[in-house]
Structure 1
């Protein structure tokens, strides 16, 4: 059970270095990987592969993962979007449409958080970007400051609830390294899991509106729909970079395109290429030739640069300054994902999957109890750690543990990410809590109970229902 011991050491090092010592997750992940390397020496190599070769292969495989590119590309998308007025226009548009309903402030805040979260994926940034606009607006409408801060803090989870967050890439990288699933299998279940998380937050918004008697947004504080559409209709284009690759990869349109291009034709497989390679006799699908992890971030970068072109730098020096500003985020996320992949690869080489299978065979608990137990563990670990650190530490193990009870791996992965999405609203250490409290000018402690009551505990239920496939994804 040396591989399991290495996994435990990996988790302990991350928690101690990140939560106790207070250093960043990139450093913690690197030290965790080095701890696994020490255990690998005790395992020893095989007749075919030495220990140094195992470590080298783990590192080189991590460097060539497609997910590395996608994760870093979305870091740039998030950073660029924060430096454009696109979000403000989106809030104005949503306010015009939803502000006419009682409590429209909360509905606008929630939907804006979901849209921005699906693009930005950084909890504190989501709360800061949306909250800086909507918290003063909610307070002006008579919403209690602690409730306004609670709702804004609850938005942070959207960064993990939708594809394609760094947390998702960290989790999927570990599962792909174990051969448990393909990288694009998470996209559909996580997208629908994110919609369930949005539906839940809208229900909570409805409850808060009734409980605190929040009024309609005054007509003077919302633009006419025609005006907001004229100024902000282009923000709708943010959906295009996601929708287009999905539509041509899955569904009826993908079927038509596959037949038209010959990709999914029975004639294509089995052909001999110029170099003598014979194509796989199994027919391809469009999803085999179009990489969502490549094209969605590429198209998203193009879209954000187009929408924010008037606010972005016009000179080379300005662009250099913008890129310099994003460098810290690139460094931390890049190192974190690289170390996570390397650790997962090395643990796989050490036989972690086999050891876990033998250990899980000793457990015999119902599927529903396993889902609740895993969810509670993830939520508790996410209190001192970020969602990324939590998934790096126990994500793949948590998913495979749920999968051992018959839950499909992609569904279990989506549920695990919903559990981890509570990190932004987990008192007392969630950074978005203090960001929102600062904007609302309220004691953060006043948000702790509402956050637990409205977000942390209920999202355990949402994630469990997703894992049990009662909420279909």
Structure 2
């Protein structure tokens, strides 16, 4: 007899595939319809408002809105363009410099926005033409940009990571894990994936004999620093509070604020950093007419189409997660995987393969919410570090979903900007997917040293 958890999962996947892939409707509609159908199949309509309340009662939704709104400000005020120009002026003169710039700039911007396709279109409009002018084939430029942009989904302060921390804290409340401590581990993991992408750029530059950018096309370093240095302080403003929380929570902050005060300060950092960075963005904007109250209100009103879908997907994902929690779907799935007796390496490979496949049709944020606790528990049972597994959830769920063909939205966004051939882009992208998969396994197996662990 087929386990009920498999049936529920098949129903959800089936609805999303039909509605999103065949009918080409928005993915948030598909997730919501699958929720309604699951309510009907399981006969749990009487608890629908319980699931809605569970989804809306988390402060993580505010954090997601705040950071996505901040990314809109950064894009509309052209501050990100200034940052990219500075990076390009510094490393564009080396062989493949435009590609390295794309990796660094897109990873940073992707971390702020948490939107892979949106980030490809925003930063790719600058980096892809620069890569093509310096000799990158169109299909390679598209894949560098899409893979770098989706890497932002796993780098703090991306809104995609908040559900991962929530899953870990729910399973291990005695750990007293702070946001700062969790983010340090995430940065430690992200460093390896940034290095991996930089190495891939270097290798492909050798293969395709890419040249440095022409001197006349490079931005002037002195001029770009003069006009864009203030934007380079944004990472400091965003990241410093979390670093200080990691370093001094148990010492200085506890001594000054008491244990309870230090705890609540740590938990509130994520709530105000997005707003603080947005205020700083308004202060350093060159065109002050863009950051008047009416202009900002209009900017956000026009950006609702950008914010609403990602937030809706998360809310509906939380609702399905609450429903599945009551039905013990994740626990049953974990039991099925554990019964395979694959051992540590086999289970790690299996989980990475499952998330790769499911991520083709289910948004990464929803995957983390619905199955994150099961992934943590299953891998912890075979000897993996549960904190490391939790910190890897945005990677194995949120990154692979956007780069894996045939439904990798990041690849298609990059192809649109680069004007690349599908077959060439697809074949080249498989190298990036394979490298991503191998590194995921290596990190989860704890074969590499990770900052913060």
TM-score interval, normalised by the smaller of the two chains: 0.7 to 0.9
2:126 aligns with: 133
2:31 aligns with: 29
2:424 aligns with: 446
Q: Is the 8 A contact 1:387 1:423 kept in 2?
A: yes
1:423 aligns with: 401
Report deviation, 1:460. 0.4
- Residue deviations 1:411-439 (CA, integer Å, cap 9, x gap): 22333332331333323332332332232
1:290 corresponds, among 260, 266, 269, to 266
By percentage of residues, which structure has more helix?
2
- Residue deviations 1:370-391 (CA, integer Å, cap 9, x gap): 1111112222233345434554
Q: Is the 8 A contact 2:96 2:212 kept in 1?
A: yes
Q: Is the 8 A contact 2:351 2:375 kept in 1?
A: yes
Change (3 A) 1:295 1:241: farther
Q: Is the 8 A contact 1:72 1:333 kept in 2?
A: no
Q: Counterparts in 2 of 1:195-214, with a 5 A limit? A: 195-214=191-210
SS of 2:303's partner is helix
Q: d(CA) in 1 for partners of 2:353 and 2:381? A: 17
Asked whether 1:232 is paired with 2:209, we answer no
Q: TM-score, normalised by structure 1?
A: 0.84
Change (3 A) 1:226 1:3: same
1:222 aligns with: 218
- Residue deviations 1:246-270 (CA, integer Å, cap 9, x gap): 133111x334432441424xxxxxx
Moved more, 119-128 or 382-391: 382-391
SS of 2:411's partner is helix
What count of residue pairs does the alignment treat as equivalent? Answer: 443
Q: Is the 8 A contact 2:165 2:391 kept in 1?
A: no
2:278 aligns with: 301
Report deviation, 1:200. 0.5
SS of 1:199's partner is helix
Change (3 A) 1:177 1:59: farther
**Residue ranges of structure 2 left out of the alignment (5+ in a row):** none
Q: d(CA) in 1 for partners of 2:240 and 2:329? A: 38
2:142 corresponds, among 137, 141, 149, to 149
1:105 aligns with: 98
Q: TM-score, normalised by structure 2?
A: 0.87
Report deviation, 1:237. 1.5
Q: Counterparts in 2 of 1:154-169, with a 5 A limit? A: 154-169=147-162
Moved more, 400-409 or 117-126: 400-409
- Which segments of structure 1 move beyond 6 Å, counting only runs of 4 or more? 177-183
Q: d(CA) in 2 for partners of 1:431 and 1:113? A: 16
Change (3 A) 1:171 1:290: closer
Report deviation, 1:393. 5.8
**Residue ranges of structure 1 left out of the alignment (5+ in a row):** 43-50, 265-283
2:89 aligns with: 96
Report deviation, 1:336. 1.6
